[in-house]
Amino acid sequence: MTTDHSDLNDIPAIALEWHRNGTGAALATVVETWGSAPRPVGSQLAISGQGDIMGSVSGGCVEGAVVVEAMDALDDGTPRLLEYGVSDDEAFAVGLACGGTIRVLVEPVGSAMPEPMLAELVTARAASHPVAYTVDIQSWDRALSGPDSYPDRFRADRSGFEDNVFVAIHNPPLRMAVIGGVHIAQSLLPMARAAGFAPVLIDPREAFASVARFPDTDLVHDWPDAALDAFAIDSRTAVVTLTHDPKIDDPAIQAALASDCFYIGCLGSTRTHAKRVERLRNAGFNPSQIDRIHAPVGLDIGAKSPAEIAISIMAQIIQTLRQG
């Protein structure tokens, strides 16, 4: 059976589709690891009733055994908590130095994992809403909850156990909006992609934000307020302004301050920022809102070159994301 999916990483949506089209589906999730496990906690594999698979729980080491267990789970309708040892040879085959142990939770959709709950999870993911799926491995009670329930886990993108309850964190993708096609941006955007962010460069000056200067980059030539409105800033978005031009930077900063983005960084000296603060106050922003801005942007590592400044910015963004 062949299924066309726009996002092959959206394993819950794939499992839901397989369940709804009548072939049946089970979801396998890595819930715990020891040693050099091939895949991190939270990794998922969808298995259809016809034996099709999408995703991975071990990089190939134990998928075959998990599929067999999933087919049995679909037959009897009960979940399973499995444990596998990954040998040194198997670990080496998938690029690891040594073996480890993984625990995998297998849940047949419908009989164990309720279809309405899976559908709600898929809807939340599609809308870029952070959500946690929890399952008590003793009572098998399941629930969905928001980031207020597990703030540290959401911030760290860290699924795992809370006593007997496994908490699977489903965060929206990380994104970054960079305002200004300057030299720093030429270094920052590739770093953002390497760190797992989906970046966009916004600059109404097409000579600055050109394909020649920014290959393989999503370029937007609208004014920042309109561009960020279309971008739909969310809690997994970082906004960085780099132009030094208030006509371009200020609309972006105001849009960011009105959003729940997790990071706002603005290039400029302490004197430049003082003038920026005054403009924002005159525009009606209060001190607690303005204090969200990181300025001068980046960690103080003595950066001089555009690339070094980009490194300091990227480091500060990660620090803010993970440590709050």
- pLDDT of 38 reads 66
Block mean pLDDT (10 aa), the chain, length 324:
47 96 95 78 94 84 87 95 76 56 93 96 93 96 94 91 96 95 97 96 96 95 96 94 95 96 96 96 96 97 96 97 87
- 236: nearest Cα among 322, 295, 117, 120: 322
Q: What does the radius of gyration of the chain's CA atoms come to, in whole angstroms?
A: 23
- The answer to whether residues 145 and 207 touch, using CB atoms and an 8 Å cutoff, is no
Smallest CA-to-CA distance from 37 within 65, 13, 9, 56 is with: 56
How many CB atoms are located within 10 Å of the residue 176 CB? Answer: 25
Q: Which two tokens stand for residue 268?
A: 């400029």
Q: Counting Cβ atoms within 10 Å, is residue 47 exposed (0-12), middle (13-18) or buried (19+)?
A: buried
Q: What is the pLDDT of residue 89?
A: 64
Domains of the chain: residue spans and CATH: 11-170 (no CATH), 174-323 (3.40.50.720)
Half-sphere exposure of residue 234: CA atoms within 13 angstroms, side-chain side: 14
User: How many angstroms separate the CA atoms of 160 and 266, rounded?
Assistant: 35
* Helix 115-126 with 11-20: angle, nearest 10 deg: 140
Could you give phi then psi for residue 147, rounded to 5 degrees?
-65, -20
Query: What's the pLDDT at 84?
Result: 84
pLDDT of residue 99: 62
Say what the pLDDT of residue 167 is.
97
**CB-based contact 60:121 (threshold 8 Å):** no
